[in-house]
Structure 1
Amino acid sequence: MKKRNSLIQLLFLSSLLFACKKDKQSEPPPTPAEGSREQLTLDSIYLYAQQVYLWYDALPAYDVFNPRQYATGGNLLENYQRELYALTQLKINATTGEAFEYSGTPGHPKYSFITEESLDGGRQGTVDLNDKGDDLGIGLSANGNTDVRIRIVHPSSAAADAGLTRGMKVTALNGTPVTVNSGSFIESALAQATVSITIQRENGTTSTVNLTRKNYTTTAVLKTAILDAGAQKVGYIAYSRFSNYNVTKAALDQAFSQFVSAGVTALVVDLRYNGGGYTQTAEYMVNHIAPASLNGKVMYTEYFNTLLQNGQAPILKQQLYRNAAGETVMWNGHLATYADLDYSVTGNTFKFEDIGALNSVKQVVFIVSGSTASASELVINSLKPYLPVKLVGQTTYGKPVGFFGLRIDKYTVYLSNFSMKNADGFGDYFHGMDVDIPSSDDVTHDFGDPDEMCLMSALNYIEGHPAGRIGAIKPVVHMGPASFNGMIETRLKLH
């Protein structure tokens, strides 16, 4: 016999009550649904999307969409992902004629996703947003058919402990030669507990390094440097993800304190592999970069859907609100839920705060790529109305939306919940931000090396050459562990 699920019943009831508010002539509500755990979870995903999804207005009625058509047994998470994909392909971007969440990869929405773990544990990433790693700490890229290079090394990882750095040439893993066609093999090898990596030095000699996976605490600051560009003193920072604010604040403070002490007049912020993270941390970086004259001016605004803004998403009463310490909060005599939060435009407009002494910066150049997304793009977009910002590299990912997590059964669903716009009201970069100076991701050089193509182009521009350094764009194929991609808002306020 099928069992009732009280939570799902409540979800149906709240959804039906909302429907009645819109149309008092609605038919009497049917009895709460029954079904298998899989069917009820599919129902819940649909019902939440119906009220909190940014593009909820494109969703058809329950009986038309029929969430339970995805209950095909087998891998439950894959079934939920198929439903989520179908939900997210309904709202069409009139500019492109494609869904806002069209990714080019069948079955995978560009933004929304579902996971069995929280985002603190990452999304297909091996270093999480608390700067905790559990891997070998290395990623590779193919710079040509047979030229495989180390793309990134996470500080304090096994790879870092072994002295490996970005730019080193890798000829073999576990004794097997690697080329541009070795992507699957490389990803599998780097996911194991141990691996042997054969490195070819610039003088042609080779050596083999054995790595063992370990748990470690790292930092999102990959490299800082003080560089010269003609008469200008340039501060450089490579930042890999917008980690939890409390975890990464000290590292950011240290980096920008270094820039203040050096009296830098220009900044190069390297976000080429930064797929986003916490908006609070992104905002903190913006405040470090911005001059004191911007204090109190609008930085950006988060726009939730009309239902959320008008308090018409009763389904959120099923989601308990927790503070930064992860504790439940009492509010007006009851445990606070996400239905008690402020989704208004006014309540989600964020302004600049003067937090530092870096007031001498006249130019800011960002190094970006197709992996630059979400919170990284927010940093760039927030500064554009006020500073002469330039982009070097390749077109960014295009993710002007963010989310908060919804717990459904043992899963966390991240639906696109809000869009973001800067002080000029601009946020339409769904297909990425175009660069001012195209440049290749030069994986033959380390971060902060003035001979690295992107950094060289940035320094040339700062020195006074408007076109930077123009050359042929060489394709690079990334192989190895993926990084986080997304934008998380945890500062929603009770009202």
Structure 2
Amino acid sequence: MIKLNVRVRQLHLRNFGRNTIGASLLAFSVMLGACQKNFEEDPVPTTDPDVQTEQTDNEWILENMQTYYFWNKQLPAKPDMTQVPEDFFNSLLYSYDAAARPDGDRFSFIAADAEELQASLSGEGTSTGAEFNLYLARQGSDEVIAQILYVLPGSPADKAGLKRGDIIEQINGQTLTRSNYSSLLFDQNTMVVGYSNWQNNQLVKSDKTISITKTVIQENPVLLDSVYTVSGKKIGYLVYNQFIPGPNGSNVNTYDLQLDQIFSQFKAEGINELILDLRYNPGGYVSSAVNLASLIGKNVDATKTFYRQEWNETLTPELEKEFGEEFFVKKFTTKSENIGNQLSRVYVLTSRRTASASELIINGLKPYMEVITIGTQTTGKNVGSITITDDTGKKKWGLQPIVFKSYNAQDQSDYTAGFPPTLQAEEPLELLPLGDTKEAILNRTLLQITGAPTARLRNLEAAPLPYAGSSLERKAAGSNMFDGQIKRLPEVQ
């Protein structure tokens, strides 16, 4: 018999303009003129103000990349300073190539608006409140479908009646295709949605459409927590969708404190198994990863290493001089809510979108307890970034370069291809609500915990329709892992 107690976390809708968006908890300023230029010729003088601005922006970008970029020794000797800033930034990257540069960069990026970037890193953005995966409608098809993974409570999508598992086929009367899905799904503020459900291995069209208007949403990453009693076992379950300490612009770690309360309840209820659902978590702040790991790890406290960082050769001695060797080693924190001594292992649910700080949890906990992953292979991001903005306010850009590589307490960092699952389980197209004990991946995990026969689990091995992408890739956290302790880095002379 299964006893179920589910608590769904609410999000907050905030309908304010750009000018009131607060700075990210992480953001720090990089002092101009702190780095030496290594290009040999000055840009050709010009009287065109747009060109002059772009050249100045490119100089600023180059200076910061020379100092902070993890692969700064691989920067081009003579970069083309005449490019527009986006193209110029991308031209500097030590880009990944499976054959030539398997250790290359897959994650650095530049954002046109630093304020919007910083808001997004804290879970705030304009959205319907629905996250989804994209699939081709059939093998070799030009048509695309968007299947909803989860809907934030109280969001426009929730109020319109969309739910997990619904499949969007049309927007504003147009069928989604390879060529138009991006503009239809992401560029429209108000959309009329035509949708279907997946039933008995086929799409069943709804006979109605719904209208949705996007709004500014502050996402609470703690989507759901539950406690199940199964065959005498007490099993805690947590759906956590982004590593965010608190709402954008807030100085209070609201969401970290919420996790503390959940684990305090887990501890009080005597759970002896834990399922951490990170299928839709693309990463976020390292400070929140430290907090979560400190709630889970077995026999951990503030003396134990969670992970360590390796920076470039230029910056490492400066950081060590400014902050000491302890800057590079991130310890667990001692937390009264820790349940590690009640556990012998932790189950982590994964997907191809499980990345960055989520993978840091897996890697960082492995030296201390058994970590069993169930789902599909993770992204493979063992590096972290910082946000660089111009404190003068004259430059609008936000830079998010990779600046360090991470290692666990056993100096392991060998997951650039992602963590392969301990147990392979592809999500089917007929999705049940998260937290429902019959939901495919959760059900498989519960059966694994209780020792169910393997034969009952094989139906999850087959892949669904051809995968084409995910809305989770557009989350700023999807390409990042941050060190929330950094406020300002030292100038490099």
Instruction: Please say which of residues 162-171 and 282-291 is displaced more in the overlay.
Output: 162-171
Counterpart in the other structure of 1:423 = 409
Residue correspondence of structure 1 range 192-207 to structure 2 within 5 A: 192-200=188-196, 206-207=207-208
Q: Deviations over 1:290-347 (max 9, x none)?
A: 2355552111111212221212xxxxxxxxxxxxxxxxxxxxxxxxxx99843x5432
Residue correspondence of structure 1 range 280-359 to structure 2 within 5 A: 280-311=287-318, 341-342=322-323, 345-355=325-335, 356-358=337-339, 359=341
Residue 276 (1) aligns with residue 299 (2): no
Residue 413 (1) aligns with residue 399 (2): yes
1:47 deviation in Å?
3.2
CA 1:33/1:148 → structure 2, altered by over 3 Å: closer, same or farther? Answer: closer
Residue 461 (1) aligns with residue 420 (2): no
Distance 2:350 2:179 in 1: 23
1:31 deviation in Å?
9.8
Instruction: Please say which of residues 51-60 and 267-276 is displaced more in the overlay.
Output: 51-60
Counterpart in the other structure of 2:356 = 374
- Match for residue 36 of structure 2 among 15, 19, 40: 15
Distance 1:339 1:294 in 2: 24
SS at structure 1 position matched to 2:315: helix
CA 1:278/1:183 → structure 2, altered by over 3 Å: closer, same or farther? Answer: farther
Distance 1:144 1:255 in 2: 38
Contact in 2 for aligned 1:42/1:83 (Cα 8 Å):
no
Distance 2:265 2:182 in 1: 37
Instruction: Please say which of residues 453-462 and 267-276 is displaced more in the overlay.
Output: 453-462
CA 1:200/1:492 → structure 2, altered by over 3 Å: closer, same or farther? Answer: closer
Counterpart in the other structure of 2:94 = 88
Distance 1:232 1:187 in 2: 48
Counterpart in the other structure of 2:74 = 58
- Match for residue 418 of structure 2 among 411, 415, 432: 432
Distance 2:320 2:327 in 1: 15
Residue correspondence of structure 1 range 38-437 to structure 2 within 5 A: 38-59=54-75, 65-67=77-79, 69-72=80-83, 76-84=84-92, 87-89=93-95, 97-101=100-104, 109-118=105-114, 121-122=116-117, 128-142=120-134, 145=137, 148-170=146-168, 172-177=170-175, 181=177, 184-185=180-181, 188-200=184-196, 206-245=207-246, 246-311=253-318, 341-342=322-323, 345-355=325-335, 356-358=337-339, 359-407=341-389, 409-437=395-423
Distance 1:398 1:369 in 2: 11
1:196 deviation in Å?
2.5
Distance 2:53 2:205 in 1: 60
Q: Deviations over 1:52-90 (max 9, x none)?
A: 221223335xxxx222x2514xxx343223323xx323x
Distance 2:157 2:168 in 1: 13
User: What count of residue pairs does the alignment treat as equivalent?
Assistant: 423
Contact in 2 for aligned 1:186/1:479 (Cα 8 Å):
no
Counterpart in the other structure of 1:490 = 484
- Match for residue 439 of structure 2 among 452, 457, 461: 452
1:453 deviation in Å?
2.5
Q: Deviations over 1:385-412 (max 9, x none)?
A: 1111011111111111112222353312
CA 1:51/1:172 → structure 2, altered by over 3 Å: closer, same or farther? Answer: closer
CA 1:227/1:8 → structure 2, altered by over 3 Å: closer, same or farther? Answer: closer
Contact in 1 for aligned 2:81/2:88 (Cα 8 Å):
yes
Distance 1:382 1:30 in 2: 43
1:276 deviation in Å?
0.9
CA 1:258/1:228 → structure 2, altered by over 3 Å: closer, same or farther? Answer: same
CA 1:31/1:194 → structure 2, altered by over 3 Å: closer, same or farther? Answer: closer
SS at structure 2 position matched to 1:88: coil
Give unmatched runs, 5+ long, in structure 2: 1-29, 46-51, 139-144, 247-252
Query: Which amino acid is 2:328 matched to?
Result: N
1:228 deviation in Å?
4.1
Distance 1:438 1:353 in 2: 32
1:176 deviation in Å?
4.2
Query: Which amino acid is 2:297 matched to?
Result: A
SS at structure 1 position matched to 2:412: coil
CA 1:182/1:304 → structure 2, altered by over 3 Å: closer, same or farther? Answer: closer
Counterpart in the other structure of 1:473 = 463
CA 1:52/1:381 → structure 2, altered by over 3 Å: closer, same or farther? Answer: same
SS at structure 2 position matched to 1:128: helix
Contact in 1 for aligned 2:57/2:85 (Cα 8 Å):
no
Report 1 or 2 for greater relative contact order, CA contacts < 8 Å, sequence distance ≥ 6.
2
CA 1:185/1:417 → structure 2, altered by over 3 Å: closer, same or farther? Answer: closer
Distance 1:449 1:248 in 2: 23
In the superposition, the TM-score normalised over structure 1's length comes to 0.75
In the superposition, the TM-score normalised over structure 2's length comes to 0.75
Query: Which amino acid is 2:326 matched to?
Result: T
1:372 deviation in Å?
1.2
CA 1:464/1:8 → structure 2, altered by over 3 Å: closer, same or farther? Answer: closer
Give the alignment's Cα RMSD to 1 decimal. Answer: 3.4
Contact in 1 for aligned 2:148/2:165 (Cα 8 Å):
yes
Give unmatched runs, 5+ long, in structure 1: 1-6, 20-28, 102-108, 312-337
Distance 1:464 1:441 in 2: 21
Distance 1:148 1:156 in 2: 21
Distance 2:387 2:426 in 1: 35
Distance 1:205 1:414 in 2: 42
Distance 1:478 1:294 in 2: 39
Distance 1:92 1:310 in 2: 30
Q: Deviations over 1:452-480 (max 9, x none)?
A: 32222222222235969332233544455
Distance 1:290 1:297 in 2: 10
CA 1:489/1:192 → structure 2, altered by over 3 Å: closer, same or farther? Answer: same
Distance 1:231 1:473 in 2: 33
